[in-house]
Amino acid sequence: MSGSERVFEIERAGEVLVIEPLGDEATYRYFDIHNESNRVLRELDDAEVKGVVIDLSSVPSLGWVMTSAIVRLVRSVDYRGGMAVFCSGTEINRRQFTSMKLGHPWTDHSSRSEAVAALKQAGDRDSQANQGTDEA
């Protein structure tokens, strides 16, 4: 892997971070996936990040190394009370997540924009619910 090549593309949409794996261990070495997932974890350290979209459009299937890296990223947000969804997953990806019991609470969306909108809508509901308890 060259110094400028990335394993994950990252895009920020307000409080939502969109993470797109660009391959798996068939494309990248374990070491590269691990190092790049650490880079993404540093991005997730930003307290303003409330949600994560995992965009699977570039990976028709995931090996165990990439899957475990994705789980690690999502758990990082989950532990802070954030939410995660995935989008553009193939049937193989959906079956894999279901068999690993990762299909819930992670929801699948057909597009990146739909996934980002779902997270923003959920965040708005949470904010309104918190305002209600703050006023009580």
What is the structure's pLDDT at 105?
Answer: 62
Cβ neighbours of 37 (radius 10 Å): 21
Please give the Cα distance from 66 to 26 (Å, whole number): 10
CATH code linked to domain 8-135: 3.30.750.24
Parallel/antiparallel/unpaired status of strands 83-87 and 51-55: parallel
Cβ neighbours of 12 (radius 10 Å): 12
What is the structure's pLDDT at 15?
Answer: 93
What is the structure's pLDDT at 3?
Answer: 54
- Do residues 36 and 7 make contact, with C-beta atoms less than 8 angstroms apart? yes
Instruction: List the domain boundaries for the chain.
Output: 8-135
Q: What pLDDT tens digit does each residue of the chain (136 aa) get?
A: 545 578 999 999 999 999 999 998 888 999 999 999 999 999 999 999 999 999 999 999 899 999 999 999 988 988 888 999 999 999 998 888 777 776 556 788 999 999 999 998 987 776 666 566 555 5
pTM, to two decimals: 0.85
**H or E stretch at 18:** strand 16-21
Please give the Cα distance from 93 to 99 (Å, whole number): 10
